[in-house]
With several copies, the nearest count.
Chain A
Amino acid sequence: MANLNLVQAINLALIQEMERDERVLLLGEDVGINGGVFRVTEGLQARFGARRVVDTPLAESGIIGTSIGLAMGGLRPVPEIQFEGFLGPAYDQICSHAARMRTRTRSAFTVPLTIRVPVGGGIHAPELHSDSPEAIYAHQPGIKVVMPSSPYDAKGLLISAIRDPDPVIYFEPKRIYRAFREEVPEDEYTIPIGKARLVCEGTDLTIVSWGSSVIQCMQAIEKSNRSIELIDLRTIYPMDIDAVTESVRKTGRCVVVHEAPRTCGLGAEVAATIMEHCFLHLEAPVQRVSGFDTIMPYYKLELSYMPDASRIGGAIEDALTF
């Protein structure tokens, strides 16, 4: 066991997978000698050489497109996109190719690719460095999407993602890169993709969240005097519908919390799914606490945009007093 923050947990997972499997290679902007702008790949080029940790030209479509070719050619590339705001240029390669190659070729070609991307706000960064596009990729069939909220999960989910035979987008909530440490086993372990985590049990209301918002949810729960169950999805797609619906059937009330804009965010999917599966158990409408349907503001106002304990608390009240 080691006491690690999220950055260190990811770094450890990368080391272990690279040692275990020669097919794993890292590529991206500044991932080499610089160790990535968040130092997630720190020391890896020194350890594994420039053949396995590759600085690429500044071109996101190029990074993902060549990674698709690398994967079709039998390797297990782990490209990094520097910020979620720069996934845009790679959108086409992700959605038109990575997501479709297996179905297009009836599995003759597959794309075992793990795209690592820092995500979300709260670090006082410039524009396009604080967005939350997880719903975009959840809407694209053929890709899995995961987002850890703790160092322990970060390691286990990353190992699962790298070993997964299909493309996975692995979002790293940058706000909690170094926010806290926890015990992380030194041995390799996996956390199944598609399984949520029950953070804490409760009977009055269920909160569903993921990524760094989980921390805000825990703060809200601490401040509340009700018995609240918190589910961290961990996997955005395929969502653990059973975990969510089981909980809501028990509590009858639900708040879903995310940073992304509300319209067509994953919160809508969670709410719609709950309605479909738990209609007769619901005692209040599912409440969404989310970013607004506006551009994530520059950092002076970013904390007003992001769900915080107080807004979550308000939604909890609304759900409980409905």
Chain B
Amino acid sequence: MCVRALNAPRYTSVMPIQTVFKAEIERISILDEHCQFDEKLGAGLIPDEDLVRLYEAMSSCRYLDEVAFKLQRSGRMGTYPQNMGQEATSLGAAYALRGDDWLVTCYRENCGLFWRGVPMESILLHWMGDERGNAMPAAHYATPIAVPIGTQMLHATGLAWASKYRGESRIACTFFGDGASSEGDFHEAANFAANLDIPVVFCCQSNSWAISVPQRIQCSAPTVAQRGIAYGMPCMQVDGNDIFACVYAVKNAAARARESSRPTFIEMVTYRLGDHTTADDARRYRDQAEVDLWKLRDPLLRTRKLLEAKRLWDSSKEDAMRQRIEVTVNAAVARAEEIAAPPTSDVFDHTFAQLPPDLVRQRDSLQTHSLAGEQAVHTEGH
């Protein structure tokens, strides 16, 4: 937590040197990679039955990653960004938040979105090049997948502001990468929230890399968490592979946001175990030794170990779960693949609430043309 020990007036007469500001940042870890569990902070945070569900949620998200990778490799899907290794971050947040708090994510937060109820096939459909995958139902309070890096945090600020404006207690929680924290829009989103008292929880997925660029080029400071100090925001670092720490941090931040309309910055230290996307080959720029080290810190592994230590889990349960997951994921894939390409007129239909006359003309011209053209399109596409 960032402590504002001193709050000196901006103009003082103490000479020649006066300390006018002090801060320190804490790191929270509750369940570490050796399956050490801190009872003091962790007790009661996640009831056992929920922990089992959270473990299954992470496992099923992980399996989707495997399947999606294969779909892309066999030409059945476009570029896909695996979430592998980062499941605990967004899931911890989704678990800690109210179901109607805004979840404003980037593209590596499948696990949190699924917890919210976003159907797997929506995410698949999106990466299959179909806008309908982004037609998030209102009930999920989730925004579409954000492709332009570092831009969606401003929407979180606006969404939370809209709730505050209407006197609702809904807050917003936004996710973005360490790379994204280099974009100017991050600065503006945090600064708006801090200065206009807007209830946002900023969660940075601090995963060491932005494609091939190492974190020191995005943030050479000792922590990414200290970015929040710039705005006078409470800020903290958590072990992002520790679902307990993520839940703990987001719960506190959400309470603060709801009670006092103040934002918080949380650095969730995690690691992208896979390539950046299926279009990437991470072996070009990072050592296998680093990846191996982080495999030991996998959020799934330690959660399973804890469950086993608590005698809530064993390999037969694991097998049964795996079967359930395969059925679910495969069914989602089947549903997504069943969805045929929309008619070409679909390109027009959601440009405006009402199509201007010239767009109607353009749509009609397409229809005239498409009989002749469909053939050509088909040939070129493959």
Roughly how many angstroms separate A128 CA and B148 CA in the complex, as a whole number? 7
A29-B213, A33-B285, A300-B128 in contact; A69/B156 too (CB < 8 A)? yes
Roughly how many angstroms separate A165 CA and B184 CA in the complex, as a whole number? 29
Q: Which residues of B contact A181 (CB under 8 A)?
A: none
Roughly how many angstroms separate A299 CA and B131 CA in the complex, as a whole number? 9
| A127 contacts partner chain B, Cβ-Cβ < 8 Å | yes
Instruction: Report how many A-B pairs have Cβ atoms within 8 Å.
Output: 271
Interface membership of chain A positions 72-96, coded 1 if the CB is closer than 8 angstroms to chain B and 0 otherwise: 1111010000000110110011001
A58 touches which of B180, B341, B357, B358 (Cβ 8 Å): B180
Contact sample, A vs B, 15 pairs, CB 8 Å cutoff:
A33-B212, A56-B192, A58-B210, A61-B188, A62-B184, A65-B188, A69-B158, A69-B162, A73-B161, A102-B350, A108-B144, A128-B147, A129-B147, A301-B341, A301-B346
Interface majority SS (helix, strand, loop, mixed), chain B: helix
Q: Which residues of B contact A304 (CB under 8 A)?
A: 344, 347, 366, 370, 373, 377
* A103 close to B358 (CB less than 8 A): no
Q: Which residues of A contact B195 (CB under 8 A)?
A: 57
Q: Which residues of A contact B352 (CB under 8 A)?
A: 102, 142, 144, 165-166
Please give the residue numbers on chain B whose beta carbons come within 8 Å of chain A beta carbons, in ascending order: 78-79, 102, 126-132, 134-138, 143-144, 147-151, 154-163, 165-166, 172, 179-180, 182-185, 187-189, 191-192, 195-196, 210-213, 217-218, 279-280, 284-285, 341-342, 344, 346-348, 350-353, 356-359, 362-363, 366, 369-370, 372-373, 375-377, 380-381
Roughly how many angstroms separate A104 CA and B180 CA in the complex, as a whole number? 21
Chain A interface residue count, CB cutoff 8 Å, equals 85
Q: Which residues of A contact B210 (CB under 8 A)?
A: 29, 58
| A97 contacts partner chain B, Cβ-Cβ < 8 Å | yes
Q: Which residues of B contact A293 (CB under 8 A)?
A: 351, 358-359, 362
Interface membership of chain A positions 287-322, coded 1 if the CB is closer than 8 angstroms to chain B and 0 otherwise: 000001111011111111100111100100000000
Q: Which residues of A contact B129 (CB under 8 A)?
A: 124, 126, 298-302
Q: Which residues of B contact A129 (CB under 8 A)?
A: 147
A33-B212, A294-B347, A295-B351 in contact; A66/B358 too (CB < 8 A)? no
* A311 close to B185 (CB less than 8 A): no
Roughly how many angstroms separate A294 CA and B151 CA in the complex, as a whole number? 22
Q: Name A24-44 residues within 8 Å CB distance of B.
A: 25, 29-30, 32-35, 37
Interface membership of chain A positions 256-287, coded 1 if the CB is closer than 8 angstroms to chain B and 0 otherwise: 00000011000000000000000000000000
Query: Which of B129, B165, B350 lies at the interface centre, i.e. has the most chain A CB atoms within 10 A of its CB?
Result: B350
A74 touches which of B162, B179, B342 (Cβ 8 Å): B162
Nearest neighbor of B148 in chain A, beta-carbon distance = A96
Please choose the segment from A9-17, A149-157, A182-190, A235-243 that sits at the chain B interface, where 4 or more of its residues have CB less than 8 A away. A235-243
Q: Which residues of B contact A105 (CB under 8 A)?
A: 131, 134-136, 144, 350
Nearest neighbor of B77 in chain A, beta-carbon distance = A124
Nearest neighbor of B376 in chain A, beta-carbon distance = A310
* B147 close to A97 (CB less than 8 A): no
* A110 close to B189 (CB less than 8 A): no
Q: Name A120-147 residues within 8 Å CB distance of B.
A: 124-129, 141-142, 144
Nearest neighbor of A262 in chain B, beta-carbon distance = B362
Roughly how many angstroms separate A107 CA and B354 CA in the complex, as a whole number? 11
A106 touches which of B102, B154, B350 (Cβ 8 Å): B350
Roughly how many angstroms separate A75 CA and B155 CA in the complex, as a whole number? 13
* B151 close to A66 (CB less than 8 A): no
CB distance from A7 to the nearest CB of B (A): 15
* B158 close to A73 (CB less than 8 A): yes
Nearest neighbor of A112 in chain B, beta-carbon distance = B353
* B182 close to A109 (CB less than 8 A): no
* B151 close to A102 (CB less than 8 A): no
Roughly how many angstroms separate A57 CA and B166 CA in the complex, as a whole number? 22
